[in-house]
Chains A and B, each alone.
Chain A
Amino acid sequence: MNLTLKVWRQKNAQTAGKFVTYQAEGISPDMSFLEMLDVVNESLILKNDEPIHFDHDCREGICGMCSLYINGHPHGPKRAITTCQLHMRTFHDGQTITIEPWRAAPFPVIKDLAVDRSAFDRIQQAGGYVSVNTGGVPDANEILIPKVIADEAFNSATCIGCGACVAACKNASAMLFVSAKVSQFALLPQGQPERYSRAQSMVAQMDAEGFGNCTNTGACEAECPKEISLTNISRMNNDYLSAKLFREEHAHENNG
């Protein structure tokens, strides 16, 4: 396969970037998208050009490191896969492929197609944890959890934090990511002690990072490689608003 690539090249966060056109020649349809970029980079290195910088790690769709906004779709045109799981047979010979980095103010470009997603880490650190007792290993299944609830929590927990939801959202909102991280604990008994403080602190951090607001368009859900559902967002809204408006966060203040 021979392809024309329009790739976003940007030296660093400070300098302005631009699209550069490359020819990708002799690409096997069985290559993954990242392998195709490896081949292009190989040829760039041989020409003494700077190779295209892009994020990747496990290359089996579980680490959340790869990104790329390909022809108007985060992780390419196929559903429920990451870029590393996207094969070149999805494209046809002679096609022009435009590759852009995730676009969002809280995700500044590091170089070329790689963006800094540490905003997600800070949101996670703000409340995406549970308190556990140290000591002996507890018995398995000591706490009974209905199967459907466990399944739902595990569905939310499959979020790999890649940021495709932000990239797909017309408002660059991080609600799908944050709500998945809130939901995976809010559904389970182990997550109850911090349930309402978690929703508040993670949303506060999300706002501080400068992500947009949710308009329930559902683009995030459609583009999520792990098919995290929009229901998570409503679940978080419910927890957040009930925490803010109806629950007492603190014990009675000591007036004595």
Chain B
Amino acid sequence: MSEFKQTFNSSLGKKLIMALTGLFLCTFIIVHLGGNLLLFSNDNGYGFNLYANFLTHFPPIEVVAYILYVAIIVHALYALILTVKNRRARPVGYAVVNKSPASWSSKNMGLLGSILFFFLVVHMSDFWYKYKFTNDVAFKEYRTDLATNQTTESDYTPVSPTFEHSATVENNVEIVRVKDIHAKVAHSFSNIWYVILYVVAMGALSFHLLHGFQSAFRTLGWVHRKYTPIVEFIGTWLFAVIIPLGFAAMPVVYYFMSLSK
């Protein structure tokens, strides 16, 4: 066991932990974006609310979710430890700022990560915490006529405070009652400050992953003449462009939708 401890306490071991947790978080945001695209389906939140309910009530996903929270904390904690060690490695700084050509994002991972961490605290306390641990989120009832596939929705006030979700079929009408997180999202995203925070955070995510994704592969030692350009392509276009743009589009679109209401 002490050999493992020694491995993970070495500089390369700590970087390995950063790389692995970072890549795990990268895979998470793909899924998160995919699911959240339901926000763009024009069904008054039916799909999105059911998806949110599934995420919070399907045990395997709940287990993975807690692994995810641990990964975020470990990634941030090790970043802090490594930064402190790096600062200690140069107690006296230079009078002239280093002009070596290195990408801006690679030199500001700590700043970008701090923005993201602040964003995550706001994001999770606003949606995740309120959804899971409070009764602040209202309920909605969706009635779908299975014959015509027409859905109508109405507010629903649960009789018991512990009520979470129900799905029943009566006379060819499917009745689904779920927490209306969609309304909460729409409400949050009608606030311009929220929208600004989200867009700035997604900008930070873009630059963080522009360096982080390919850097993780370098840390793992997976560099190859043929495959490294592919990793860099994915890191740039998928993780630094498509994903942050997809996420940033949500608050922006909802903000403009709230204006037209």
Contacts and interface: CB of A to CB of B under 8 A. Distances in A.
B85 A100 contact: no
Contact of B89 (A71, A74, A100, A106): A106
A241 B11 CA distance: 11
A44 B11 CA distance: 44
A217 interface: yes
A170 interface: yes
A118 interface: no
A236 B218 CA distance: 10
A100 B10 contact: no
Interface in A211-236: 211-220, 222-223, 230-231, 233-236
A212 B85 contact: yes
A104 B89 contact: yes
A244 B221 contact: no
B10 A73 contact: no
Given A234-B218, A241-B16, A223 B100 contact: yes
A207 B11 contact: yes
B261 interface: no
Contacts of B215: 215-216
B222 interface: yes
A69 B100 CA distance: 11
A8 B101 CA distance: 24
A3 B223 CA distance: 45
B89 A173 contact: yes
A203 B86 contact: no
B101 A100 contact: no
A52 interface: no
Contacts of B16: 241
A72 B96 contact: yes
B92 A213 contact: no
B221 A239 contact: yes
A89 B43 CA distance: 70
B92 to A, nearest CB: 5
A19 interface: yes
B12 interface: yes
B238 interface: no
Interface in B77-115: 82, 85-86, 88-103, 106-107, 109
Given A214-B219, A219-B101, A241 B12 contact: yes
Given A206-B11, A213-B11, A73 B100 contact: yes
B15 interface: yes
A128 to B, nearest CB: 17
A24 to B, nearest CB: 17
A137 interface: no
Interface in A62-114: 69, 71-74, 77, 98, 100, 103-106
Nearest to B98: A72
A217 B7 contact: no
B13 interface: yes
Interface residues of B, number: 41
B38 interface: no
B15 to A, nearest CB: 6
Given A207-B10, A213-B11, A213-B15, A103 B221 contact: no
Contacts of A71: 96, 99
B103 to A, nearest CB: 7
A172 B11 CA distance: 13
Contact of B100 (A168, A213, A237): A168
Contacts of B103: 217-218
A112 to B, nearest CB: 14
Nearest to A10: B92
Given A69-B94, A207-B11, A214-B15, A233 B218 contact: yes
Contacts of A216: 106, 211, 214-215, 218-219
B50 interface: no
Contact of B86 (A19, A106, A172, A222): A172
A104 B221 contact: no
B184 interface: no
Contacts of B3: 244
Given A218-B106, A230-B218, A105 B12 contact: no
Interface string B210-226: 01001101111111000
Given A100-B96, A171-B89, A237-B15, 8 more contacts: A72-B98, A77-B99, A100-B94, A103-B90, A207-B10, A215-B109, A238-B220, A241-B221
28 contacts: A69-B96, A104-B90, A105-B90, A106-B89, A171-B89, A172-B90, A173-B11, A173-B86, A173-B89, A207-B10, A210-B88, A211-B11, A212-B86, A212-B88, A212-B90, A214-B219, A216-B218, A217-B106, A217-B211, A218-B106, A219-B102, A222-B100, A238-B220, A240-B12, A240-B221, A241-B16, A244-B7, A245-B7
